[in-house]
């Protein structure tokens, strides 16, 4: 029986795209990426496009004025552009070796801190907060881009403790966090400050921080919140609204009206009426728009996607032996899950108003691109070879 020569194209596994023998960068990426995690992220992004389509007419009507009238699909068109820009960034970052992901994150943290300093001097603001840098054709929110790279940088610092316990890397990372928090409070942005502190504490506990130190930081955070409540009107007003229901509760009242109108199954795509009374239907309160038009079951589906992504990451980390990968991946997953929890909690009146977007669902360029970078880093860090777990090839890919 004759056989095809080994030199023929169809006889060589390496010549077949995405075959196990494909040694190209794209081939290596395809066989090492966690496909379930990637699928869950794509599903969430798809839900986000549908949600922005539902919220776009309400946002256009609310923001239109005498000088400029928005097209009903203006925000949907912009969101599609951000998705088309963000997906290549996410996939490109996910192809990075671990060593390059670490280096670029450290450099990104430095640039992000400089951008936060620049916001204090040349930043632009809205609704009493100065958080953006005006660039030609767009506004950039540095804090959104700083979050994922700071988490990876913190993981690098804390992972050094596993090599030399005498290194004061935990103190250094906390000092960097405190400096960033000081810059964020000046904007003011207490929500991002609290989020970054919570993520750092999760990473520090995983890195071996003592319970005494954890308790001390928690007490200090509560004291800081108390001082902010007594001295900052913005903080006291939001907490009073949440705890007592007094004052102007228009935003949350209209958000709850959307959920009541939608019920279990929603009023139908494009049929929502209450969404036109929401203050920020395409950003902070887009979860309420989903509740009205698609119902509580759709809201549970969205929440389930967030839970599935976070759980999948932590399942992948169960047998992880690299402290840096463990701390960075856990931190990025925690930030992703906490941000979603805060946004949904605010919409349901379970948490005070924070002005935080729902990841990959809310409209916004800075938010979507920054989340794409963060998810790209998470996908890069969780890449595994399903066939050869301890081969020299895998170690070379990881940059060991």
Under 8 Å between Cβ of 167 and 204: no
CA distance 373 to 381: 12
Domain assignment of residue 17, yes or no: no
β-sheet bridge partners, residue 227: none
Q: What is the pLDDT of residue 115?
A: 93
Confidence label for 245 from pLDDT (cuts 50, 70 and 90):
low
Domain assignment of residue 379, yes or no: yes
- Written as six digits, the tokens of 93 are 């970052």
Domain assignment of residue 106, yes or no: yes
Domain assignment of residue 177, yes or no: yes
Threshold 0.75, pTM exceeds = yes
Total domains in the chain come to: 1
172-217 pLDDT, tens digit each: 999 999 999 999 988 888 888 889 999 999 999 999 887 788 788 8
CA distance 388 to 400: 16
What is the arithmetic mean of pLDDT over 280-296?
94
Domain assignment of residue 174, yes or no: yes
Highest mean pLDDT among 4-8, 56-60, 387-391: 56-60
Confidence label for 338 from pLDDT (cuts 50, 70 and 90):
very high
CA distance 62 to 254: 14
Task: Give percent above pLDDT 90 in the chain.
Answer: 57
What is the arithmetic mean of pLDDT over 143-168?
92
Domain assignment of residue 18, yes or no: no
Q: Which domain holds residue 58?
A: 29-398
Q: Across all residues in the chain, what is the average pLDDT?
A: 85
Domain assignment of residue 4, yes or no: no
Q: What is the pLDDT of residue 26?
A: 81
The yes-or-no verdict on residue 169 having pLDDT over 70 is yes
Domain assignment of residue 347, yes or no: yes
Which whole-number Å values give the CA distances from 215 to 166, 169, 203, 260, 298, in the listed order?
A: 22, 19, 15, 40, 38
């Amino acid at each position: 029986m004759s056989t095809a020569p080994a030199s023929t194209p169809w006889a060589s596994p390496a010549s077949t795209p995405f075959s196990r023998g494909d040694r190209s960068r794209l081939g290596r990426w395809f066989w090492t990426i966690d496909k379930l995690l990637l699928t869950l992220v794509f599903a969430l992004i798809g839900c986000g496009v549908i949600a922005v389509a539902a919220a776009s007419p309400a946002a256009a009507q609310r923001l239109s004025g005498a000088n400029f009238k928005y097209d009903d699909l203006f925000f949907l068109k912009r969101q599609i552009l951000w998705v088309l820009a963000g997906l290549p960034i996410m996939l490109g970052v996910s192809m990075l070796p671990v060593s390059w992901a670490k280096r670029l994150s450290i450099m990104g943290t430095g640039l992000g801190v400089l951008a936060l300093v620049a916001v204090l001097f040349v930043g632009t603001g809205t609704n009493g907060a100065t958080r953006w840098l005006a660039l030609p054709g767009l506004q950039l929110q540095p804090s959104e881009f700083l979050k994922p790279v700071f988490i990876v940088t913190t993981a690098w610092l804390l992972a050094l403790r596993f090599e030399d316990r005498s290194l004061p890397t935990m103190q250094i990372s906390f000092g960097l966090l405190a400096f960033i928090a000081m810059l964020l409070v000046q904007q003011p942005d207490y929500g991002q400050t609290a989020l970054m502190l919570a993520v750092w504490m999760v990473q520090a506990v995983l890195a071996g921080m003592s319970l005494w130190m954890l308790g001390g930081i928690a007490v200090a955070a509560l004291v800081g919140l108390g001082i902010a409540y007594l001295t900052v009107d913005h903080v006291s007003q939001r907490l009073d609204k949440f705890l007592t229901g007094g004052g102007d509760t228009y935003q949350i009242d209209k958000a709850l009206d959307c959920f009541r109108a939608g019920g279990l199954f929603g009023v139908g795509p494009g049929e929502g009426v209450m969404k036109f009374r929401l203050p920020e239907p395409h950003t902070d309160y887009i979860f309420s728009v989903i509740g009205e038009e698609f119902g509580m079951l759709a809201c549970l589906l969205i929440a389930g996607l967030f839970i599935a992504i976070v759980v999948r990451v932590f399942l992948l980390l169960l047998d992880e032996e690299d402290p840096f990968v463990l701390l960075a991946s856990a931190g990025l997953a925690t930030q992703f899950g906490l941000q979603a929890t805060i946004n949904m909690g605010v919409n349901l009146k379970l948490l005070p108003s924070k002005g935080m977007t729902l990841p990959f669902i809310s409209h916004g360029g800075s938010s979507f691109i920054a989340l794409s970078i963060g998810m790209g880093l998470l996908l890069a860090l969780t890449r595994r070879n399903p066939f050869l777990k301890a081969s020299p090839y895998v170690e070379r890919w990881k940059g060991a």
